[in-house]
Chains A and B, each alone.
Chain A
Amino acid sequence: MQPSIIQMIHNQRHYIIDNWLEEINTVQTETVGNNVPKEMDDETNRKFIEMIIDTLEYEQREAKGKLRGFVERLIYSGWPLSYFTRGMQSFRSVLLETMSSGEGVNSKRIFETFYEIETWVDGIVNQIADEYSGSWENTIQLQRHALNELSAPLIPVFEKISVMPLVGTIDTERAKLIMENVLEGIIEHRSHVVLIDITGVPVVDTMVAHHIIQAAEAIRLVGAECILVGIRPEIAQTIVNLGIDLGKLQTKSTLQQGIEAGLQMTQRKIVKCNTESASSVVIGG
Chain B
Amino acid sequence: MGIQSNVEVQTEWGIVSARQAGRNLAKEAGFSSVDQARIATAISELARNIYLYANNGEIIIEFLENENVSPPRRGIKITARDEGPGIDNIRNAMEDGYTTSGGLGAGLPGVKRLMDEFDIDSRSGVGTEITAIKWLR
Interface residues, chain A, CB within 8 Å of chain B?
A: 169, 171-173, 202-207, 209-210, 213, 233-235, 237-238, 241-244
Contacts and interface: CB of A to CB of B under 8 A. Distances in A.
B113 A205 contact: no
Contact of B12 (A171, A204, A205, A209): A171
A172 B106 contact: no
A104 to B, nearest CB: 56
Interface stretch (B40-48, B82-90, B119-127): B40-48
A233 B34 contact: yes
B106 A235 contact: no
Contacts of A241: 38, 41, 110, 113-114
Nearest to B15: A171
B33 A234 contact: yes
Interface residues of B, number: 25
Given A171-B12, A242-B113, A243-B113, A237 B37 contact: yes
B130 interface: no
B96 A205 contact: no
Contacts of A213: 104
7 contacts: A206-B45, A206-B107, A207-B44, A235-B37, A238-B34, A242-B45, A243-B110
B36 A234 contact: yes
Q: Which 4 A-B pairs have the closest CB atoms?
A: A242-B110, A234-B37, A205-B44, A234-B34
Contacts of A238: 34, 37-38, 41, 114
Contacts of B113: 241-243
A241 B45 CA distance: 13
A202 B15 CA distance: 13
Nearest to A169: B16
Contact of A205 (B23, B36, B48): B48
A227 B113 CA distance: 27
B37 A244 contact: no
Contact of A243 (B12, B36, B106): B106
A206 B36 contact: no
B19 interface: yes
A207 B37 contact: no
Contact of B41 (A204, A210, A233): A204
Nearest to B109: A243
B103 interface: yes
Contacts of B48: 205-207
Interface string B24-64: 00000000011011101100110010000000000000000
Contacts of A169: 16
A210 B33 CA distance: 23
Nearest to A171: B12
Interface centre among A205, A237, A242, A244 (most CB of B within 10 A): A205
A244 B34 contact: no
Given A206-B45, A237-B37, A243-B109, 8 more contacts: A203-B44, A204-B41, A205-B41, A205-B48, A206-B103, A234-B36, A235-B37, A242-B41
A172 B107 CA distance: 16
Contacts of B19: 202-203
B30 to A, nearest CB: 16
Interface in B68-117: 96, 103-107, 109-110, 113-114
A28 to B, nearest CB: 34
Contacts of A172: 12
Contacts of A243: 96, 106, 109-110, 113
B123 to A, nearest CB: 24
A206 B15 CA distance: 13
A246 to B, nearest CB: 11
A201 B49 CA distance: 20
A244 B33 contact: no
Contacts of A204: 41
